[in-house]
Structures are given as structure tokens and as C-alpha cells.
Structure 1
Amino acid sequence: MSTLQRIALLLIIIGAINWGLIGFFQFDLVAALFGGQDAAVARIIYGLVGISGLIALSLLFKPSEEVETEPEKRYS
């Protein structure tokens, strides 16, 4: 996984936690921390989370890498 994909995954997790808070408690953490939904910083964060979701689409269609294992070692 590339660094860009890891950053995107981190932002997606932040967005998911924020949506969970909105859904369960009607509390928007990003808006509370950065001055409301219309604040420039909050809008940038919302935008970055959205772009991260698009980047994560590449992970959805990426074939899983096979793990190479060493042959079983036999001790006598």
C-alpha cells in the first residue's frame, strides 16, 4: 500500500468516525473543532475526505497480493 493510499485510508477513517457521531449523536466533530460546517478549514477537511474515498476505490479493485511463504522446514 502506497503512502498516498495510507493517508487516504486515515482520512476515510476520520470521516467514518465523524459520520458515526452525526448518525448516533447528531454531533459533527469536524464542524465543532473548526468553527462550523461553513468554515473554510472544515470544508477543506470534508473535501479531502471525499477525495480520499475516490482514491480508496483503487484499493477495492486491486488484486490481493499473494503472500509468499517459505517451504516448511523439517528438523531431524
Structure 2
Amino acid sequence: MKKLWMPAMVLLVIGGLNWGLVGLFDFNLVTYLFGATILTQTVYVLVGAAALWKAYLMLMNPKK
């Protein structure tokens, strides 16, 4: 389980930065880098999975 922590955090940072760019500048970095491909959709799914994982950890360990 600890092996998932760092990749999940990296994906959450990427997702957060991407949403910030979309909100501020209407610029989607993921789409810019990968185009409208299955890879872009995969990145979004991985970011969503990382968010679910972090939410689960927060619910199961509220003291941390």
C-alpha cells in the first residue's frame, strides 16, 4: 500500500496543476502534450483513481 502513496501524490499534483491551468488560462496541458487520444483519457482515469485512493486513506486514517 505504501508503494502507491508517491505515484498517487504525483498524479494528484499533475491533476491539480492541470485544473489550475484550465481555470486560469483555458489551457489543458494534458491534451496539449498527448492530444485527444486514449492516452489523455488514461491520464484522467489515473488522476481520478489517485483521488479516490487519497480520499479512502483520509477516511480510514483521519488522524494523518
TM range (shorter): 0.7 to 0.9
Aligned residue pairs total: 63
Q: Which runs of 5+ in 1 are unaligned?
A: 66-76
Unaligned regions of 5+ residues in structure 2, if any?
A: none
Larger radius of gyration: 1
Using the aligned pairs only, state the percent identity: 40
Letter in 1 for 2:39: V
Question: What is the alpha-carbon root mean square deviation over aligned residues?
Answer: 1.6
CA distances 1:21-71 after superposition (whole Å, capped 9, x unpaired): 0000000000000013xx110000000000111000123121436xxxxxx
- Structure 1 distance, partners of 2:32, 2:62, is 39
SS at 1:64 equivalent: coil
* Paired letter, 2:12: I
Tell me the distance in 1 between the aligned counterparts of 2:25 and 2:62.
37
**Which protein has the bigger helix share?**
2
The higher-RCO structure (CA 8 Å, 6+ apart) is 2
Match of 1:42 among 21, 40, 43: 40
